[in-house]
Structure 1
Amino acid sequence: MFDVSISSQLKEAVTDFKIGVIYYPAISVSDLPPLIGDRLPLYYENIQLSLNDHPVCEIPGIKEWRGIFKKTGTDPSRYRPSQEALLRKIKKDGAPHFVNSAVDLLNFFSVQHSIPMGLYDATKLNTPIHIRIGTDDDHYDGLNGRTMHMKDKILSADSIEAFGSPIVDSKRTCVTGQTKQALQIVYLRPSMDSDEAHLLITKMAEMFTQVHGGTHELTLIQ
């Protein structure tokens, strides 16, 4: 299992900050099986319809994570939590971008539970991994095509550099069809109790391995 820790500075800013960490040592990434893939468009269509009556920023998980961003110095109207960005994309276009089975399933989890999360090619990571608040020195090439400057933003960093955040992840560690080992970081809602949080990451890990094969190792860090 990967060595992952939360910085004391982040814990001081967000007292109940917690993450789920799931390691998948042997997966096969392709397309989602029809049982899931064929149902996702209808699921997202229903989400799109529901957002006509419920503003995205008022969804409990979105509201809580916007508050977390403010506590760490991030303007959530300028840099949105990733699950909020997904929901706004669904509201506008009816669905997120479909990429591959791993990313598509992760996006489903994120929308379903209204929390940010990231999935990384584990062979491109160098331990230890720290979840902390960024400084002037932290930046990376994001999957959104922009250079992400991470000062005052929550990020994940390995021994090389920052590689992910609850906003957008890096190109360096992205999961592709060639990925065989993956690390998932689930940015849980601080308001969740430990039992609820552990059950949630367990269910996600089980569904992920049902789709991608292999086994999983997981831990709750708080």
Structure 2
Amino acid sequence: MLDVTLSSQLKSAVPDFKIGVMFYSSIVIGKLPALIGDRLPVYYNNVQMSFDTQPISAISGIQEWRQIFKKVGTDPSRYRPSQEALLRKIKKDGTPHFVHSAVDLINFFSVQYSIPMGIYDAEQLDGAIQVRIGTETDQYDGLNGRLMHMNQKIISADRNGAFGSPIVDSKRTCVTPQTTQALQLAYVRPSMDSGEAQRLIEKMAEMFTQVHGGTYEWKLIQ
């Protein structure tokens, strides 16, 4: 299990901040099994239709994460929490981008539970990881093709600097079909009870290894 901590500055800004940490070993990434993959378009179509009666902004997980962004100095209208970006993509196109089994499953979790999610190739991480508020020196090449300036945004950083956030993750640590060890971070809602958060984290880790094989370890940091 990689060493993950929360900074005191982040805990001061968001006292009930929680994050789920899952570490996977000996996994095999490819396509989602048909049992899941064939059902996802139907699931996302139902999500898309739900927006006819409920705007994205009314979803409790979206509202809570927008408030968290404001507490650390991020404008949530300019930099959206990643699960909100996914939902807006689904509203527009009917589905998110399908990449491979690991990313596709993480996106499903993110939409289903309305929380930001990240998954990283553990072999591309170096040293202890801290989840903190970014500074003017924190930046990285994002998976969205942009250079991300992470000042006053929640980030995850290792010895080599920032690599992830609940906005968009970096290219440096992205998971590929060659990845065999991965770190998943689940930005659970601060309002969620610790016991409920722990059950959710274990449930996601178990499902991930059912799809990808291998083993998992998990913990809730708060």
Scaled by the length of structure 2, the TM-score of the pair is 1.00
**In the aligned structure 1, how far is the partner of 2:122 from the partner of 2:52?**
39
Moved more, 162-171 or 52-61: 52-61
The residue type paired with residue 53 of structure 2 is D
The residue type paired with residue 184 of structure 2 is Q
1:156 match: 156
The residue type paired with residue 19 of structure 1 is I
Matches within 5 A, 1:203-218: 203-218=203-218
The residue type paired with residue 176 of structure 2 is T
2:20 match: 20
Matches within 5 A, 1:139-154: 139-154=139-154
The answer for unaligned runs of 5 or more in structure 1 is: none
Percent identity between the aligned chains?
72
1:183 match: 183
Matches within 5 A, 1:1-222: 1-222=1-222
**In the aligned structure 2, how far is the partner of 1:88 from the partner of 1:211?**
27
**In the aligned structure 1, how far is the partner of 2:204 from the partner of 2:90?**
21
**In the aligned structure 2, how far is the partner of 1:94 from the partner of 1:38?**
14
The residue type paired with residue 105 of structure 1 is L
Q: CA deviation at 1:19?
A: 0.2
**In the aligned structure 2, how far is the partner of 1:188 from the partner of 1:47?**
20
**In the aligned structure 1, how far is the partner of 2:198 from the partner of 2:76?**
27
**In the aligned structure 1, how far is the partner of 2:15 from the partner of 2:187?**
14
The answer for unaligned runs of 5 or more in structure 2 is: none
The residue type paired with residue 59 of structure 1 is I
The residue type paired with residue 48 of structure 2 is Q
Q: CA deviation at 1:57?
A: 1.2
Aligned residues: 222
Structure 1 segments of 4+ aligned residues over 2 angstroms from their partners: none
